[in-house]
Amino acid sequence: MKFFRFEKEVGFPIKQFDSKEAHYIKVWRSKQENNVGFIQIDAGGVVGYHQATVQQLFIVVQGEGWVTGTDREKISIKSGEGVMWEEGEWHESGSENGMLAIVIESESIDPSLLQEK
């Protein structure tokens, strides 16, 4: 058995897109455009407005915050909820009190498997 760490200290700060107080921790990456990781957004943090390079599923596992789409309207999101952005879709996420999310980026996410809110 092996134990692993997933705190923000083992990841790296997200500096692109005018982001602040946000960190990415890699979990899995393949040779295709498939990635799985955690995004830790600290209190007052934001992952700035940018385009999804492929489908991106953002699942909040702790805390709460907000997400936007192309219209930049902030929509509340909390632990147990998720959002999917399509390839090319502009989006942003942030939190006033802190939020931890699993992020899955893949060309092969099947939205029919997900339960809509």
For 33-48, what is each residue's pLDDT tens digit? 778 889 999 999 999 9
63-112 pLDDT, tens digit per residue, is 999 999 999 999 999 998 999 899 999 999 999 999 999 999 988 877 77
Q: What is the C-alpha to C-alpha distance for residues 5 and 18, in angstroms, rounded to an integer?
A: 27
Q: Is the pLDDT of residue 7 over 90?
A: no
Q: Which domains does the chain have, with CATH numbers?
A: 11-106 (2.60.120.10)
- The CA-atom distances, in angstroms, between 59 and each of 3, 35, 39, 73, 80 are 23, 14, 10, 19, 7
Which of helix, strand or coil describes residue 16? Answer: helix
Cα 21-77-33 angle, rounded to 5 deg: 70
Confidence of residue 11 (pLDDT cuts 50, 70, 90): confident
**CA 94 to mean position of chain CA atoms:** 10
Lowest mean pLDDT among 12-16, 23-27, 38-42: 23-27
State residue 30's pLDDT score: 61
